[in-house]
């Protein structure tokens, strides 16, 4: 790590601490040349696959959009934030572990529906009715029979 004060290439790690949330590491370093101390923060660099929308356009995966959709479906339902956080973690982990560089938006929607079905059937039906945009009542009836 290069010293921000003198530009010397060699620094020594003096102290290492993991954050309370364990999502980054804080390191105190000391320059071998000027002996000044500074702090660096280390966090993992993860890249989600790019989402390919139905019209063929591409957009970055935005966990906040997925969470907002889930929250809308779960509105006024007896589901805690901890459950939603766990579901989001599972969705993000599946996307990261897939190793794909691109993923269809329909696959992301299916992941969300699978999680909602586990948490709350009403929220699942709410999300599916908008997501799948049913053309007639029979398709909707079939969804209800499936659950």
Does residue 115 sit within a domain?
Answer: yes
Does residue 137 sit within a domain?
Answer: yes
Does residue 2 sit within a domain?
Answer: no
Does residue 108 sit within a domain?
Answer: yes
Which stretches within 43-80 are classed as H helix?
Answer: 63-73
Does residue 82 sit within a domain?
Answer: yes
Q: Both 38 and 54 in a single domain?
A: no
Please list the helix, strand and coil fractions of the chain in percent, rounded to the nearest 5, in that order: 45, 20, 35
Q: Both 70 and 93 in a single domain?
A: yes
Judged against a pLDDT cut of 80, whether residue 46 lies above it is answered with no
Does residue 3 sit within a domain?
Answer: no
Which pLDDT value is given to residue 94?
Answer: 93
58-89: per-residue pLDDT in tens? 999 999 999 999 999 998 889 899 999 999 99
Q: Both 24 and 85 in a single domain?
A: no
Domain count, the chain: 2
Q: Both 69 and 113 in a single domain?
A: yes
Q: Both 38 and 79 in a single domain?
A: no
Does residue 1 sit within a domain?
Answer: no
- pLDDT bracket for residue 20 (50, 70, 90): confident
Whole-model pTM? 0.62
Q: Both 34 and 61 in a single domain?
A: no
Give the CA count within 13 Å in the CB-facing half-sphere of 17.
7
What range defines the domain where residue 66 resides?
A: 50-146
Give the CA count within 13 Å in the CB-facing half-sphere of 128.
21
Cα separations in angstroms, 44 against 12, 22, 24, 25, 40? 21, 11, 7, 9, 13
């Amino acid at each position: 790590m290069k010293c921000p004060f003198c530009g010397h290439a060699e620094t020594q790690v003096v102290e290492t601490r993991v954050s309370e949330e364990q999502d980054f590491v804080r390191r105190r370093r000391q320059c071998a040349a000027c002996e000044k101390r500074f702090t660096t923060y280390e966090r993992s660099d993860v890249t989600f696959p790019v989402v390919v929308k139905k019209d063929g356009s591409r957009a970055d995966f935005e966990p906040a959009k997925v969470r907002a959709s889930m929250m809308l479906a779960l509105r006024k339902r007896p589901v805690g934030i901890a459950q939603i956080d766990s579901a989001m973690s599972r969705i993000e982990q599946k996307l990261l572990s897939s190793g794909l560089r691109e993923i269809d938006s329909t696959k992301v929607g299916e992941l969300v529906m699978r999680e909602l079905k586990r948490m709350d059937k009403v929220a699942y039906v709410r999300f599916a009715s908008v997501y799948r945009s049913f053309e007639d009542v029979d398709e909707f009836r079939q969804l209800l029979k499936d659950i």
